[in-house]
């Protein structure tokens, strides 16, 4: 069970309440899902039977915090797989240690695909010019970047078609950017950086491109949520808010 948000003292109360619910459902032979700030009751969780997905998740996760994101990763792999029917490369803005990208790459057998996957990150945290102080405090408290760039380059060295690009989004697009994009994962935890990325990448999105916003639905990321609502609203799209905390847009030229 991984839950966050309420002060530490109250979290114990929350998890013991959830344990009671879990016990009752288990006794009745009914399923529960209580991870990553998501409580779902009586769901089939059919992705658990998808062996290639579970293998990719287990091979790439670094502990329970990563494993608890299983439903988000399922969404991510579904969107990435769906994008294979479109022309274009894959892009992730905000890669950190490469957990999501690692799962996607293994799940799809990316090394054998005739397309590129671009992984962008400063590998040094959120730049002040593209984030708010609140966003920086939220991320910088729980992450550290010493040696991460080298580790990520090493992690993806088995894939000839995955490019790890170090630099600030959006400026870095002036040096390396794909012509056409079928799958775009935005996970920089900063509304200004993510909407600036969209400003640059919009003309490159394929019709039907999968755009996944990792933090769109998270209450503590309300500034990022507003930034996306405003940006996508101006571009004629409504974002599907998922119970995982993600947002999904299937990009259509002319709006959805």
Report the C-alpha gap between 102 and 239 in whole angstroms.
26
125 near ligand SAM (CB under 6 A): yes
95 near ligand SAM (CB under 6 A): yes
Query: Using an 8 Å Cβ cutoff, are 76 and 99 in contact?
Result: no
Dihedral of CA atoms 203, 205, 208, 210 in degrees, nearest 10, equals -140
CB of 125 to ligand SAM, least distance (A): 5
CB of 170 to ligand SAM, least distance (A): 7
| 3-state DSSP of the chain | CCCCCCCHHHHHHHHHHHHHHHHHHHHCCCCEEEECCEEEECCCCHHHHCHHHHHHHHHHCCCHHHHCCHHHHHHHHHHHHHHHHCCCEEEEECCCCCHHHHHHHHHHCHHHCCCCEEEEECCCCCCHHHCCHHHHHHHHCCCCCCCHHHHHHHHCCCCCCEEEEECCCCHHHHCCCCCCEEEEEECCCCHHHHHHHHHHHHHHEEEEEEEEECCCCCHHHHHHHHHHHHHHHHCCCCCEECCCCCEEEECCCCCC
Stretch that binds ligand SAM, among 2-10, 116-124, 234-242, 248-256 (CB under 6 A): 116-124
CB of 64 to ligand SAM, least distance (A): 14
Nearer to ligand SAM (CB atom), residue 77 or residue 126: 126
Judged by CB under 6 A, the residue of 71, 117, 121, 183 near ligand SAM is 121
Nearer to ligand SAM (CB atom), residue 130 or residue 251: 130
Q: How many residues bind ligand SAM (CB under 6 A)?
A: 21
211 near ligand SAM (CB under 6 A): no
Nearer to ligand SAM (CB atom), residue 14 or residue 223: 223
Report the C-alpha gap between 46 and 231 in whole angstroms.
34
89 near ligand SAM (CB under 6 A): no
Judged by CB under 6 A, the residue of 75, 122, 206, 246 near ligand SAM is 122
Nearer to ligand SAM (CB atom), residue 53 or residue 120: 120
CB of 245 to ligand SAM, least distance (A): 12
86 near ligand SAM (CB under 6 A): no
Binding string, residues 28-67; x marks residues near ligand SAM by CB under 6 A = ----------------------------------------
Q: Which residues bind ligand SAM (CB under 6 A)?
A: 94-97, 99-100, 120-122, 125-127, 130, 139, 168-169, 187-190, 193
């Amino acid at each position: 069970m991984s839950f966050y948000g309420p002060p530490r003292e109250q979290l114990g109360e929350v998890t013991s309440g959830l344990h009671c619910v879990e016990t009752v459902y288990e006794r009745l032979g009914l399923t529960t899902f209580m991870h990553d700030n998501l409580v779902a009751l009586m769901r089939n969780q059919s992705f658990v039977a998808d062996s290639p997905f579970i293998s990719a998740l287990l091979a790439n996760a670094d502990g329970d915090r990563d494993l608890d994101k299983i439903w988000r990763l399922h969404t991510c792999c579904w969107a990435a797989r769906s994008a294979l029917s479109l022309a274009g490369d894959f892009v992730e803005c905000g890669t950190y240690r490469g957990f999501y990208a690692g799962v996607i790459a293994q799940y799809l057998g990316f090394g054998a695909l005739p397309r590129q996957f671009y992984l962008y990150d400063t590998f040094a945290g959120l730049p002040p010019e593209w984030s708010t102080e609140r966003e920086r405090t939220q991320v910088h408290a729980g992450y550290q970047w010493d040696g991460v760039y080298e580790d990520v380059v090493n992690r993806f060295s088995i894939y000839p078609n995955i490019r790890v690009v170090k630099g600030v989004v959006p400026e870095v697009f002036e040096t390396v950017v794909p012509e056409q994009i079928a799958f775009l994962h935005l996970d920089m935890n900063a509304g200004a950086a993510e909407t600036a990325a969209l400003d640059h990448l919009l003309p490159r999105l394929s019709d039907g491109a999968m755009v996944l916003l990792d933090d769109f639905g998270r209450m503590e990321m309300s500034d990022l949520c507003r930034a996306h609502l405003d940006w996508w609203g101006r571009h004629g799209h409504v974002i599907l808010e998922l119970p995982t905390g993600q947002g999904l847009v299937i990009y259509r030229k002319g709006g959805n």
